Amino acid sequence: MGTMSHGNVAVEFEDRILSHLQIVIVQRFRRSEPLVISWLDSLAVGDGRSSMWMTPALPVYFKFAGSRVPEIDRKWLQQLIDSAESSPGLIVTSPTGELVRALGSVQVR
């Protein structure tokens, strides 16, 4: 389980998901493009969903639990890239298109 932190929010996802999100987000930030990212909340914080506005003006930090870099699924990566470029923004989904539930999230102050 890894963590993505941006501004005052930290969200936990499985390392494989986080690796794919890192590529999508870094590509956007390299082009100075902000984005909104949405996911299903961890059951520990409620059964809702959350969205976060991400801007390259703030640092983003990725912390992975494992030392091994997961294999990148190119088809899945393209699905996430296409999602990030859509009006609703980047919706975190699995390779099969199912919504992904965060493993945890916290608001850091």
Mean pLDDT of 5-25: 95
pTM of the model: 0.92
Under 8 Å between Cβ of 42 and 105: yes
Q: Is the pLDDT of residue 106 over 80?
A: no
User: Can you name the residues that pair with 11 across neighbouring β-strands?
Assistant: 4, 105
At residue 90, the 3 state secondary structure works out as strand
Q: Is the pLDDT of residue 109 over 60?
A: no
Write down the pLDDT at residue 108. 61
State the Cα–Cα distance between residues 93 and 85, nearest whole angstrom: 14
Write down the pLDDT at residue 57. 96
Task: Give residue 5's region: left, alpha or beta (phi > 0; psi -120 to 50).
Answer: beta
**φ and ψ at 9, to 5 degrees?**
-120, 135
Mean pLDDT of 21-42: 96
Write down the pLDDT at residue 88. 94
